[in-house]
Amino acid sequence: MDDMVKCKVLIVDDSKEDLAAMKVILEKQGCEVVAASNGAEALEQLQSDGFKVALIDIKMPTLSGYDLMRLLKERITHKVRIIYVSIVPAQEVDMEGIDGFVQKPFSPESLMAEVNKVL
């Protein structure tokens, strides 16, 4: 759990409620959290180094989680663990190239279990 204090997480979700919930859960665990409400914002944030994990919603306007992931792989040189957080059922999610998945609605326990697993 000591790793969690050094954990810098980017959350990308167009749902303000989900963003706020994830932020609270992660900050309680000692993570530094940066929130983005769309993919373009997320790309901007990820230009700065230090993020260990990105929690990405799949269904977002403008840039979907899939599109964002593809762009991250092209543009970001440092290794960021990617976890999809989505209402889309796990069996329908393209898991190629990602590190984890959390089903919405999520519990604090399920979210932290997945974050800890990829760290």
Domain boundaries, given as residue ranges, for the chain: 2-118
pLDDT tens, 14-53? 999 999 999 999 999 999 999 999 999 999 998 887 899 9
Whole-prediction pTM: 0.92
The pLDDT score that the predictor gives to residue 22 is 98
Task: Write out 46-79 in H/E/C secondary structure.
Answer: HCCCCCCEEEECCCCCCCCHHHHHHHHHHHCCCC
> Which amino acid type is present at position 79?
K
SS3 102: strand
**Is CATH 3.50.50.60 correct for 2-118?**
no
Query: What's the Cα-to-Cα distance from 83 to each of 66, 74, 99, rounded to whole Å?
Result: 11, 17, 6
